[in-house]
Amino acid sequence: MRILSGIQPSGVLHIGNYFGMMRQSIALQNEGETFYFIANYHALTSLRDPKALQENSRRVALDFLACGFDPNRGALFMQTDVPQVTELAWILSTVAPMGLLERAHSYKDKLARGLPATVGLFSYPILMSADILIYDSDLVPVGKDQKQHIEITRDLAVKINETYGQVFKLPEPRIQAATEVVPGIDGQKMSKSYGNNIDIFGDEKEIRKRVMSIVTDSTPVEAPKDPDKSTIVQLYSLFASKDEIADLRERFKKGGTGYGDFKKQLFEKLWEYFAPMRRRREELRRDQSYIDGVLAKGANQANAVADQVMTRVRKTIGLA
């Protein structure tokens, strides 16, 4: 089974990325061959600062390794190291119905947030489909917001298969139900672009400040609080054991503890959870050549598969 996913280097990785996508992607290394890449072509749709793009791309690679990706059991690479995906994206665009892309939530959301309506942003799902189909991927672990993009991928694969005969495998999404949407400090979906993120590897002072500014209601200290409506409880549940979660919920219901104390408890838990990964990250950061080696090896593995698939595609559609 081949498992593939990508993450945009459009900013610094946050705990929504970790629980929505990275953790399950890394765990899936036990179940099949993993291909994970840094989607720097995609990031161009929102980031036009060359230095930031370069730095973020390297940082995503470092963070992935620090969080436990094992490069001996899978490929980690830059999207741009497999430039054939842009050729496949063109081929797919020739069968992609306009209406299908016009219905994409992610495109509409991005316009609503003020991103300019470029052709690249509009055809973003086509490049993503190429990313997936070019590796004959079986499974794509992502957060819930990416589900529609996988459906579009399947639609495009079917279109090609119906037009030219069997060319592509149909990939399945894998969405972790328990953490499908990790809330940010304002209670909305955590996202780099909403400014409500808590970064995985931010510095201690900044993360503490972020946790302490989680939005709460004005229930007084002594009054009982509703654990089901609390972002603090939702976030704490990502890090804590069953018993610890039950204990926190009880203390919410009992009253007598203020939100500030609960936030401190959340901060401690979060900080401790990422401690081993922070240590690993410090070690890796000192060895840039190690990361270069991992990315080069990943690019070789990815190109080997992409070349095969593209030979098949070109032959089938009359471009060979």
Binding site for ligand ADP (CB under 6 A): 7-8, 10, 16-17, 20-21, 142-143, 145-146, 179, 181-182, 189-193
Instruction: Say which entry of ligand ADP, ligand TRP, none residue 181 contacts (CB below 5 to 8 A, set by partner kind).
Output: ligand ADP
Nearer to ligand TRP, 142 or 207 (CB): 142
Six token digits for residue 9: 């280097």
- What are the angstrom distances between the C-alpha of 133 and each of 38, 87, 105, 144, 176? 16, 12, 21, 20, 22
Asked if residue 281 binds ligand TRP (CB under 6 A), the reply is no
The alpha carbon of 271 is separated from its chain's Cα centroid by a whole number of angstroms, namely 21
Asked if residue 33 binds ligand TRP (CB under 6 A), the reply is no
If phi over 0 gives left and psi between -120 and 50 gives alpha, with beta otherwise, what is residue 256?
left
Looking at 14, 23, 42, 154, which residue binds ligand TRP (CB under 6 A)? 42
Q: Is 110 a catalytic residue?
A: yes
CA–CA distance, 169 with 153 (Å, rounded to integer)? 10
Find the shortest distance in angstroms from Cβ 289 to ligand ADP.
27
Catalytic residue among 147, 159, 169, 189: 189
Asked if residue 128 binds ligand TRP (CB under 6 A), the reply is yes
Q: Is 297 a catalytic residue?
A: no
Looking at 67, 78, 132, 313, which residue binds ligand TRP (CB under 6 A)? 132
Six token digits for residue 11: 């900013």
Find the shortest distance in angstroms from Cβ 273 to ligand TRP.
22
- Near ligand TRP in 4-23, by CB under 6 A: 4-8
Find the shortest distance in angstroms from Cβ 62 to ligand TRP.
18
Question: What CA dihedral angle connects 106, 110, 116 and 121, to 10 degrees?
Answer: -20
Asked if residue 39 binds ligand TRP (CB under 6 A), the reply is yes
Q: Is 253 a catalytic residue?
A: no
Task: Give per-residue burial for 168-181: e unless 16+ CB within 10 Å, then b.
Answer: bbebebbbbeebee
Asked if residue 121 binds ligand TRP (CB under 6 A), the reply is no
Burial class (CB in 10 A: 0-12, 13-18, 19+), 137: buried
Alpha helices (runs of H) in 70-146, residue ranges in sequence order: 84-93, 98-102, 105-112, 119-122, 124-133
Interaction pattern, residues 215-254, with ligand TRP; x per rule: CB under 6 A: ----------------------------------------
Find the shortest distance in angstroms from Cβ 33 to ligand TRP.
15
Looking at 26, 60, 65, 142, which residue binds ligand TRP (CB under 6 A)? 142
Q: Are 15 and 239 in contact (CB under 8 A)?
A: no
Helix (H) or strand (E) holding 280: helix 275-285
Residues known to be catalytic: 110, 189, 192
